[in-house]
């Protein structure tokens, strides 16, 4: 088959890698044609076998390194190449932080057309390993044996692991214990192709003082051999304080269903962020890296520049973590969230921490904020922490219409942050600086906090 493209599927080419892509893959060119090469690093010259060809780019599998980057290191994890959980273990941690800053700079330059907004050095973790307080591992069968772990890159094939190096140790112990116990008890494993079986996922959460919560996600309401399962799991895990069963009957990729049953122990575990304490239930949102979440929220608080007299709005407040941080320094804070169960968690968190100057409202920010404005609420600061898709133009216009002196934008996606900052510029608000924070070491993800102020204020 003739093609005008310079590369062909199945053939090897020598590629010079120029930079890292947003998913951590190497990005290079062959005769000015873009080629993505996973596990290759900026500055390297590699050979790659082309596995996919599109009109404007190709993807290849690295077969040889001709010129190696000085930043390349030996991955700690033995299954790293196959597993899709991490993308940057082969890059030194210092270089990971630099690459994440570069990802933000590139987004500001090419997407936001805001090349002059200062992007600070990425705030790294004290320990870039064993930081995840939450585990969500699928369970399956491979060659007749039970496997528990992450999916392989770009597939639903489960890579079995007994020691994930980014999980807290309690979560690894839980995964290994459940794998052994369900094998002994012959509890059927779910098959996503046939939609048969019982056990779909193992969810673990580690809280303060290493308290451990186990959540078994099943397709049925009654867990087979329930009493034996509970007894054996408790005997295996001395720090276990909660065993729960979540029922997910639908034939889809959503991990958890609506209904959760407490099988044994406490309904929640606790964790702390700064001076604040939080109850965590199986479906509660809580940042997976507790130590770095404190760094992120303290940065947001610093940008908010509160002195005790201000009114603030947290426009996507979730379970109220940022809201309660702001409430420690503000006169009044309104938390807005469209998900009612999250607001109920936020209200409980406020009560548990003795915070009385935070008010939580269920609803769409685009409707709630104009309503507050009509009631005479004039926020000095608006904080926003939206999903990866960012904010809609209507939401951003609503922020601008309320005329806060500062907007603090917390983002998990540099591309949508850049897009939204460009929109805010047209609405009279200028980005002053951006602080990247590394909440997810060894992966390609980066969180940012941006300070935005009203022009000519």
| Phi-psi category of residue 125: left, alpha or beta, with phi > 0 → left and psi -120 to 50 → alpha | beta
Residue with tokens 């379970």: 319
Q: Are 450 and 434 in contact (CB under 8 A)?
A: yes
The rounded distance, in Å, linking the Cα atoms of 22 and 20 is: 7
- Using alpha carbons, select from 223, 219, 263, 261 the residue that is nearest to residue 241: 263
Q: Are 7 and 50 in contact (CB under 8 A)?
A: yes
The active-site residue, picked from 83, 86, 164, 412, is 412
Indicate the DSSP class of residue 428. T
Residues comprising the chain, all counted: 457
Residue 437 in tokens: 């924070």
Q: What DSSP assignment string belongs to 199-214?
A: EEEEEEEE-GGG-EEE
The rounded distance, in Å, linking the Cα atoms of 113 and 174 is: 47
Phi/psi of residue 143, nearest 5 degrees: 50, 40
CA 63 to chain centre: 31
| Phi-psi category of residue 132: left, alpha or beta, with phi > 0 → left and psi -120 to 50 → alpha | beta
Q: Are 289 and 440 in contact (CB under 8 A)?
A: yes
412 is catalytic: yes
Q: How many CB atoms lie within 10 A of CB 173?
A: 21
Residues identified as active-site: 412
């Amino acid at each position: 088959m003739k093609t005008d493209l310079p590369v062909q599927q199945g053939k090897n080419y020598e590629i010079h890698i120029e930079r890292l892509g947003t998913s951590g893959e190497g990005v290079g060119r062959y005769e000015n044609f873009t080629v993505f090469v996973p596990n290759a690093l900026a500055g390297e010259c590699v050979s790659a076998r082309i596995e996919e060809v599109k009109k404007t780019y190709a993807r290849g599998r690295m077969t040889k390194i001709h010129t190696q980057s000085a930043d390349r290191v030996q991955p700690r994890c033995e299954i790293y190449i196959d597993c899709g959980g991490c993308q940057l273990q082969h890059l030194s941690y210092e270089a990971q932080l630099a690459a994440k800053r570069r990802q933000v700079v590139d987004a500001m330059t090419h997407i936001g057309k805001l090349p002059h907004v200062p992007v600070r050095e990425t705030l790294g973790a004290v320990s870039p390993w064993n930081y995840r307080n939450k585990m969500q591992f699928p369970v399956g069968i491979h060659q007749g044996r039970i496997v528990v772990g992450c999916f392989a890159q770009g597939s639903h094939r489960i890579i079995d692991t007994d020691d994930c190096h980014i999980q807290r140790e309690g979560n690894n112990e839980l995964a290994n214990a459940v794998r052994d116990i369900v094998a002994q008890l012959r509890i059927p494993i779910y098959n996503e192709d046939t939609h048969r079986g019982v056990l779909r996922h193992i969810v673990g959460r580690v809280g303060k003082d290493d308290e451990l919560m186990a959540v078994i996600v099943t397709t049925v309401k009654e867990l087979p051999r329930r009493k034996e399962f509970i007894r054996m799991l408790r005997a295996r895990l001395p720090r276990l304080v909660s065993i729960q069963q979540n029922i997910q009957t639908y034939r889809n990729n959503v991990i958890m269903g609506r209904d959760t049953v407490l099988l044994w122990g406490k309904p929640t575990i606790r964790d702390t962020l700064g001076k604040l304490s939080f109850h965590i239930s199986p479906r509660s949102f809580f940042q997976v890296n507790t130590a770095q979440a404190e760094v992120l929220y303290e940065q947001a608080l610093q940008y908010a520049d509160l002195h005790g007299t201000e009114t603030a709005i947290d426009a996507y407040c979730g379970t109220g973590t940022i809201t309660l941080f702001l409430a420690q320094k503000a006169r009044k804070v309104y938390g807005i969230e469209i998900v009612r169960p999250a607001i109920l968690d936020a209200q409980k968190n406020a009560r548990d921490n003795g915070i009385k100057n935070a008010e939580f409202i269920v609803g769409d920010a685009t409707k709630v904020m104009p309503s507050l404005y009509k009631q005479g609420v004039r926020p000095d600061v608006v904080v926003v922490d939206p999903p990866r898709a960012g904010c809609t133009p209507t939401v951003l216009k609503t922020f601008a219409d309320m005329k806060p002196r500062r907007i603090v934008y917390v983002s998990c996606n540099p591309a949508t942050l850049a897009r939204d900052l460009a929109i805010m510029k047209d609405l009279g608000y200028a980005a002053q600086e951006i602080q990247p924070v590394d909440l997810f070491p060894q992966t390609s993800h980066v969180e940012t906090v941006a300070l935005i102020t009203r022009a000519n204020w």
